[in-house]
Chain A
C-alpha cells in the first residue's frame, strides 16, 4: 500500500517561471488537501479538493495559484510566475472520507532563485 506520493521532492525555479507540484493520494482516497509550510512555522491550509471539484480554496492566493484533482491522475498545484516568497515546503494530504485520518506526503520543497 503506497502512501501519499508527492513529486518532485525538491524543485528549483527562477523568478517568473511556473512550478507544478504533483500529489498522488493513497489509493482509493478521493479527498485531497494542500498545505504550505514556511521554515519554523506551522501548516497553512491552501485548498481542499475532491475528485474533479474544488471544495474550499479559501487559503489559496487569488492570483498565480491554482489546483486541480482530475478524475484520472494526480492532484496538481500550479504556481505561475513564481516569486521568492513562494519558497516553502508544500504538503499534500489525502483522506478516504471526511473527518477521518489524513495521510501526508513527504512534501515538495520549492526554492525560487
Chain B
C-alpha cells in the first residue's frame, strides 16, 4: 500500500519553464512533508519542507503548495534550469514515525 502517491513519473521541461510535481496522501496523522532531490549516485538531499499549518512555503525558486483538505501537496520549480535535472521525492511523516516516500519523479530540463 503506497502511503504517498507521486506524479508524474517523469517530466521534461524547457529551461526557464515551471516544473510541477504532485503528491497525495491518505493518513491525516502526517504532519511533516519534505521534498528531496537526488542526483545519480548520490543520497537524497532535503530541498524544502512544509508543515500543515501553512498552505505555501517558498525558498528561492522552489515552492511547496499544501492543500490540507484535499490531502495533496506539490512542488513548483520556477525558472527551471538544466542543473535542476534530478529525481525528486516527496515524503510524509508523523511524529515519531518513519518517512514514507513517493516513487519519485525524474525531471529533465532541456537547455
Number of B interface residues, CB 8 Å? Answer: 24
Most buried by B among A35, A102, A105: A102
A107: interface (CB < 8 Å): yes
A54-75 CB contact bits vs B (8 Å, 1 = yes)?
0110010000000000000000
Cross-chain contact B89 with A42 (CB below 8 angstroms): yes
* A43→B38 CA distance, assembly (Å): 11
Closest residue to A92 on the B side, CB-wise? B43
Cross-chain contact A56 with B98 (CB below 8 angstroms): yes
Interface of B is mostly: loop
A2: interface (CB < 8 Å): no
Cross-chain contact A102 with B34 (CB below 8 angstroms): yes
* A33→B96 CA distance, assembly (Å): 12
Q: Across chains A and B, which 6 residue pairs bring their CB atoms closest together, nearest first?
A: A104-B43, A42-B103, A43-B101, A98-B96, A99-B95, A45-B98
Jot down 23 A-B pairs with beta carbons below 8 A, ordered by A.
A4-B43, A33-B98, A42-B102, A42-B103, A43-B44, A43-B89, A45-B98, A45-B99, A45-B100, A45-B101, A48-B97, A48-B98, A93-B99, A98-B95, A99-B94, A99-B95, A102-B34, A102-B46, A104-B36, A104-B44, A104-B45, A106-B42, A106-B43
